[in-house]
Structure 1
């Protein structure tokens, strides 16, 4: 995230430090998402961030979550992540998604060199081509671990058809999670990539010593979400102080409360209990935590508190 009062360069400089801290805490993997035309997030290519973080760490898995197939030639993606996997064996993930990575129509068309939105058939062909190129054209040794991102039954169905592990965007569309999981598990076909259904569930997670502090930390992302509800996607990521002064409508407050109730926000006890409940209810093999809070120190502290509570 590119935070108010900082530069994009500061965000990039934090990338390695954050990866090193999570490796120290014992986390298994970090993924970088592809976004464009967003002041709050920045346009940092996942392949570049993966390479930078991998060179700064020694064990933690790194990769895209996701790189967006409609914006790239399949051979190019295979070459990029195949090279990374050769340089950092058994540490690189290739999470693939479908969206354009932007709400700006002109940016989306520029990314696709003037083409319109991808069709279901085009997306399927692109993902299948990436997998084929990885094996047949660019294999230099250990391959990256492919995942398919899904927030709908269509994405789940494609992951099942191709025999890929699925990363479920519970942090974006939690209301779709039950149907996504049912569609994926019901139709899964084993492949060279995955012998059985394998689910990673992504959860928005903000942990602090007190409920009051957790609410303060989640405030900036609430402002961003409220903007998206009104169709505003070019807002900067505010400070907690700015977020505390933001005037939400009653409708926005209700929508935000409903969303937060399906995520994991609060004290270590509350957050860990919620994460365990989600894992049990969904049967997820792994949870991925996204923690959109202002400040590297506060973000790392959230992960540290969760680790301590899990081990308690």
Structure 2
């Protein structure tokens, strides 16, 4: 078992053939149940123009979940700075914090959140990808506007999302806690965290290096059931390996019938080996090893499972078997 807090990342996977309203209903129920299980925080990711992931703004989901829960921390994981005016991010998350003090996080990232170039350009009002300097300025301005706009009121807790050493370097420079996307770029994790800790500069936001690791976690009573539940996301990932973001999120039965190329199968096997899939005992072992190797202060679990009941069961099993003290049973 591990002694660091557990949190969750919600990517709002849209079941093939489902309506947006169905996915939003599930995200609301998911937040309520995670709150009851005692998870520390729940973040919402920004995505656009994907049949598999809902294009639901993190700030809207955060506001709705905050009104529907009582204690879990909520926020973005993250909003993508190049897609938003810094002053608007400061105003939005500052307002949320005024409404829900000590419960709001502002996780900021860089990517376009889409594989569709016209969509990426539309988000940027026709501009191309942000340069390193533009991204740094966007993050720094957002932090300044947070202080200026919110004045002496409560502030959201800012985090910088990263999947590379470059992102880790910016988090260290600005003195921000880092949320590292081990679920996206596991091969970059250790080098990036070493750079972050070595070059960290204390700030008003963070006095010492603070590391959150996001890891894909699929937990079920048996290894075989976990593999079945992970199947739909494997199909989506196989499309992403080819640069395709237009693959719908299939059912487990459809995923079981999908044929992967040998290259795709090898890539998926290698990825799973660095995440936490399996029975409670296996997931406990892998999460414990990840904390030991990275020195993480917190783990954030992302669990892209098709059915809400199965997804909630995964989080319940992890809460019962991985983190002390044991959580109450789901009703």
Shorter-chain TM range is: over 0.9
**Match in the other structure for 1:45:** 57
Structure 1 unaligned runs (5+)? Answer: none
Hey, what does 2:188 align to over in structure 1? 176
Offset, 1:59: 0.3
Q: 2:289 aligns with which of 277, 286, 299?
A: 277
Q: 1:175 to 1:136 in 2, by over 3 A?
A: same
1:146 is aligned to: 158
Q: Which residue in the other structure is 2:6 paired with?
A: none
Measure, in 2, the Cα distance between the counterparts of 1:5 and 1:36.
18
Aligned twin of 1:115? 127
Distance 2:151 2:268 in 1: 45
Match of 2:81 in 1: 69
Compute the RMSD of aligned alpha carbons.
0.9
Q: Which has the higher contact order (CA 8 A, sep 6+)?
A: 2
Q: How does 1:1-312 map to 2 (within 5 A)?
A: 1-139=13-151, 141-310=153-322, 311=324
Deviation of 1:281 (Å)? 0.6
State the Cα distance separating 1:183 from its structure 2 match.
1.0
Q: CA offsets per residue over residues 223-255 of structure 1, 9 Å max, x none?
A: 001111122211110000000000011111110
Secondary structure of 1:95's counterpart equals strand
Q: Secondary structure at the match of 2:150?
A: coil
1:288 CA displacement: 0.2
Unaligned runs of 5+ in 2: 1-12, 327-331
Alpha-carbon contact 1:203-1:288 (below 8 Å) kept: yes
User: Following superposition, which runs of at least 4 residues in structure 1 exceed 6 angstroms of deviation?
Assistant: none
Aligned length: 312
Partner SS for 1:137: helix
SS in 2 for 1:238: coil
The range that moved more, 129-138 or 86-95, is 129-138
1:110-165 residue CA offsets vs partner (Å, 9 max, x unmatched):
00000011000000001000000000123462100000000011100000000000
Write out per-residue CA displacement over residues 34-71 of structure 1, whole angstroms, 9 at most, x where no aligned residue: 00001100110000000000000010000000000000
301-310 or 73-82: which moved more?
Answer: 301-310
Q: TM-score, normalised by structure 1?
A: 0.99
